[in-house]
Every structure is written in C-alpha cells, then in structure tokens.
Copies of this chain bind each other. A is one copy, B any other.
Amino acid sequence: MMETTIVEKKKVRLKNPILIEGLPGIGLVGKIAADYLISELKAEKVAELYSPHFPHQVLMQKNGVMRMIKNKFYVVKGKKNDLLILVGDVQAVTSEAQYEVSGKILDYAQKKGVKMVITLGGYGTGKMPTAPKVFGIVTHKHMVEEYKKYGIVFGESKGSIIGAAGLLLGLGKIRNMSGICLMGETHGGFVDARSAQAILEILCKILDINVDVKKLDERARETEMFARKIEKEALSGKGMPPVETTKQDLSYIR
C-alpha cells in the first residue's frame, strides 16, 4: 500500500521552528488565516505532501496543466523563531487516514526541529458573533496562563477538535511537543474571513511579527455585511439559509 509521502522541494535549516497548521476546516477560518500569512510574509514553499487518503483525482488548471491534490509546507525566516506553515487543498476523511497524515506531518516537523505547534481553526456556534472571540486549547496546563495575556479565551470551548487541528496537538504531545489550537468564533455555516482576521491578529502577537491585515480587512467586511443582512432578515421574519459569502473560498475539495 502506498503511504503518505512528503517530497522536499528545498532543504532548509530552521531556527527554533514553530509549525503553524491552517488546513480546510470549519468556516475555512484556519485556511484563510494561514494562506494570508503565507502571501503577506512571502513565505517560500519547501515541501509537498501527497497522500493516498486524498481524493483519487488531479485538478485541471486554467492553463491546461494538471496538479495533484496536496498539502504544502512553507517557510518564513523569523527573528526568534522560523515558521513552518502547513496549508493545502484537503484533509483526509477517515480516522485512520487522519492519524497517518498527521503522523507524517509530525515526522517532518520533528526532523526540522519543531517543538511547538500552533493549529488554526474555527469554533462553530451557529450564531453570528459581533466580535469573534479566539478560543484556545493547549497541550499542557501551565500554558493556559502564558497564553491568556494575548486575549485568548480558555475554558469556554466544549466538545472535541476534529481533524489535523486536534490530532497534531494530541500526537505532538506524545512526542513531547507543546501546542496550542486557536479557534476563531464563527457561525459554522459559511466562510468567515472576519474570524480568520481575529485569530491572525492574536497569532501575530504571539509570534511577535507584523502583518498588514488590509486585504483581509476587505474580505472581513464582506463577511460582516453578510452577517448583518442575515440578522436583519431574521428579525423581519424572512428565512434565509446561511450560505458562503465568497464562493471562491470554497474551491477546495472535500
């Protein structure tokens, strides 16, 4: 049986690297934040991950060239910490596949010296938040106090974290890594750039980096307008199912 494979495009040596995960998930919150980070910090692609647990398809691009469905690792050099950012088209679907892919991701991260993992995601509430909170879940108790100062809310999120955002912490902990999951409060029924903005602001504080959030701001405003419209129509009694605000965001495969 073919295994999940990471193809390194560029060998890099990393200084105190932190793994940041932003794969597709609830409201695409983590994906939007991580993709934005990569684009604003002009991060460099260093590796690609292919998996037999991803759909058995290749994507047709406008220029007539196909590409595989994959996850990708980007690197940004930092002052104290280099960043290894994981993004991609999909997450695996079954439990076994998720465990395998997360295991391979951690293998690679460990080889690069990663000891800290930050996973990004959305926390769906079924309601439109006015100012989205950022909920946190950590691997070790002492981290709660340490991260509260950034405005992260602890102890209010319940249930379970599904997929890579959870497993990378859980499996990482067994390998003696520390980790935190930042979850932007979101409706859950549509793509939420405003929530992505909220976790990005806190992430920048944690990493002590500056990111111009202008362009994301525009997209966040779209989300907000959409949210107000829904509220208004809810008050006026008109039913309207929550749908995605920006269709292009959904061009990933599940």
Contacts and interface: CB of A to CB of B under 8 A. Distances in A.
Interface of A: 1-3, 7, 50, 52-60, 62-69, 94-96, 98-100, 103, 136-141, 144, 154-155, 157-163, 166-167, 169-171, 173-174, 181, 253
A3 B96 CA distance: 9
Q: So how many copies of this chain end up in the complex?
A: 4
A95 B64 contact: no
Nearest to A163: B56
Given A1-B1, A174-B50, A98 B62 contact: no
20 contacts: A1-B96, A1-B100, A2-B103, A52-B96, A52-B100, A57-B160, A60-B160, A60-B161, A63-B154, A63-B155, A64-B136, A65-B140, A65-B141, A66-B161, A66-B166, A66-B169, A66-B170, A66-B181, A67-B170, A68-B174
A155 B64 CA distance: 5
